[in-house]
């Protein structure tokens, strides 16, 4: 038995040694470094819809910024610094309804990572990314990773809801149009927040139900009411990382069961559940996983999920593939390998392209011989030619695919240091 383990260990070391030897060779023979960018000038972002259709936000929890990237060209085109550096994870930009402003809840401390805390909702110009205004809110804003539901903008673009933990749970409501704090509502037992129509949101509750927060009429007061449970929080909890298709939110349970929440009517409607995995996939232990694991494309009515092979309670493990389902038939229609983020990271640092034979050989060696740490987040752009953005937290890597064919289109070589949340601009 010892000899068997020794042979396995020797084989692993041999493969790793060969792999890193080829990595060093790739670095030595890679294309020369590109010239640096010109500095000292500023730009105004394009307002053309076609130019912006493949842009996306990607936050960085160490640089403490939201970076705006172009998926087609693999470039950072702008960024917004958000909150005190070294504090917080939830950096999530919201676009105003007319597209002219970016809204981000932020926290600041007077002594960097300590001292008096100030929470604000900050408004930035969407074309210059410059500061416009800020709205003070109670210093209770919740932080969690990945933070995809730490705040929400109502469908009419009027009200921003910010989830609080202090440690009691509550919701801060802010009028973005008039730039005023509205109210703080207590929400015991319920967390996070999702838009659910004009002047309405919902939260997920510990008993498996939802809490609906809405306003009665133009001048009415905000109030909260609870629904009956729609999932089993003990037997098969749902992941809070939902995806929205039109008027329906989709949540996946740890076991891969999909729970639709229809927000189109006066009351939330919970549709019939269905499974992401058939018997064959379950037998092979395929499961959802990652930090931002669901995405949807409304025009094609498709759901995308980051998946991996693993045991129970591995719902946060990185994914190795993105699977695609037709929501009309609830049938899986595609499997997209996410690639190797470690190989992508080294390609970017070494400026390894695809033009020369040596570059292609080096890339093959990196993809084949290096361990694959998996991907942690996905997003799909909403246009007619959608892009699938696949992110790895560590190492920091971004790989862009054609969301319809799965073909790899681009890699972003300098996405940041510790990547966080993906968001639409």
CATH number of the domain that 160 lies in? 2.130.10.10
Is residue 71 included in any domain, yes or no? no
Q: Rounded to the nearest 5 degrees, what angle is found at the Cα of 145, between the Cα atoms of 140 and 149? A: 65
User: What is the predicted pLDDT for the residue at 39?
Assistant: 58
Residue 31 lies in a domain: no
Range of the domain at 141: 102-229
94 - beta bridge partners? Answer: 103
Residue 133 lies inside a defined structural domain of this protein = yes
17 Cβ contact list (under 8 Å, min separation 6): none
182: alpha, beta or left? (left if phi > 0; alpha if psi -120 to 50): alpha
Domain-located, residue 209? yes
Kindly tell me the sign of the dihedral angle through the C-alpha atoms of 74, 75, 76, 77. negative
Q: What sign for the dihedral angle of Cα 218, 223, 229, 232?
A: positive
* Contact (Cβ atoms closer than 8 angstroms) between residue 300 and residue 404: yes
- pLDDT of 46 reads 72
146 falls within a domain: yes
Q: For residue 175, is it within any domain?
A: yes
Nearest to 69 by CA among 381, 343, 342: 381
For residue 396, what are the CA distances in angstroms to 22, 282, 417?
21, 30, 6
Look at the chain and count its residues: 425
With a cut of 70, list the residues of the chain below it in pLDDT: 1-43, 47, 49, 217-218
Phi, psi of 241, deg, nearest 5: -85, 75
Of 304, 316, 330, which is closest to residue 389 (Cα–Cα)?
304
Specify if 118 maps to a domain. yes
Q: What is this structure's pTM?
A: 0.89
Question: Tokens 């995995």 map to which residue?
Answer: 277
Asked if the structure places residue 328 within a domain, the reply is: no
Alpha helices in 235-374 (DSSP H): 279-283, 341-350, 357-369
Q: How many domains does the chain have?
A: 1
Please state the φ and ψ torsions of residue 368, each to the nearest 5 degrees: -85, -40
* Nearest CA among 52, 88, 85 for reference residue 70: 52
CB 420 within 8 A of CB 60: yes
């Amino acid at each position: 038995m010892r000899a068997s383990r020794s042979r396995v260990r020797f084989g692993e070391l041999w493969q790793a040694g060969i792999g890193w030897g080829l990595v060093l060779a790739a670095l030595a023979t890679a294309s020369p470094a590109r010239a640096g960018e010109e500095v000292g000038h500023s730009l105004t972002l394009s307002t053309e819809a076609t130019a912006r259709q493949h842009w996306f936000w990607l936050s960085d929890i160490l640089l403490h910024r939201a970076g705006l990237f172009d998926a087609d060209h693999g470039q950072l085109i702008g960024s917004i610094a958000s909150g005190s550096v070294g504090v917080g994870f939830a950096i999530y930009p919201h676009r105003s309804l007319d597209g002219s402003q970016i809204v981000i809840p932020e926290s600041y401390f007077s002594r960097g990572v300590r001292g008096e805390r100030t929470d604000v909702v900050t408004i930035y110009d969407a074309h210059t990314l410059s500061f416009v205004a800020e709205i003070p809110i109670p210093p209770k804003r919740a932080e969690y990773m990945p933070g995809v539901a730490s705040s929400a903008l109502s469908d009419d673009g009027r009200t921003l809801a910010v989830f609080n933990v202090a440690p009691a749970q509550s919701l801060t409501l802010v009028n973005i149009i008039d730039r005023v704090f509205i109210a703080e509502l207590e929400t015991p037992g319920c967390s996070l927040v999702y838009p659910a129509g004009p002047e309405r949101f919902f939260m997920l509750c510990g008993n498996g139900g939802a809490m609906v927060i809405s306003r009665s009429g133009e001048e009415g007061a905000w109030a909260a009411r609870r629904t009956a449970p729609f999932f089993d929080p003990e037997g098969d909890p749902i992941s809070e990382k939902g995806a929205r298709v039109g008027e329906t939110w989709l949540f996946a349970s740890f076991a891969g069961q999909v729970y639709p929440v229809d927000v189109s009517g006066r009351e939330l409607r919970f549709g019939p559940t269905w499974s992401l995995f058939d018997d064959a996939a379950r037998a092979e232990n395929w499961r959802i996983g990652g930090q931002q694991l669901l995405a949807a494309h409304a025009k094609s009515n498709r759901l995308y999920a980051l998946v991996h092979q693993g045991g129970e309670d591995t719902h946060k493990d990185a994914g190795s593939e993105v699977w695609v389902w037709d929501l009309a038939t609830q049938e899986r229609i595609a499997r997209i390998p996410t690639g190797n983020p470690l190989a992508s990271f080294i390609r970017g640092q070494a400026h390894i392209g695809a033009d020369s034979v040596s570059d292609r050989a080096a890339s093959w060696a990196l993809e084949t011989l290096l361990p694959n740490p998996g991907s942690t987040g996905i997003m799909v752009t909403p246009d007619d030619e959608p892009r699938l953005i696949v992110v790895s937290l560590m190492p920091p890597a971004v790989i862009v695919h054609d969301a319809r064919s799965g073909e790899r289109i681009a890699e972003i070589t300098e996405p940041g240091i510790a990547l966080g949340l993906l968001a639409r601009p």
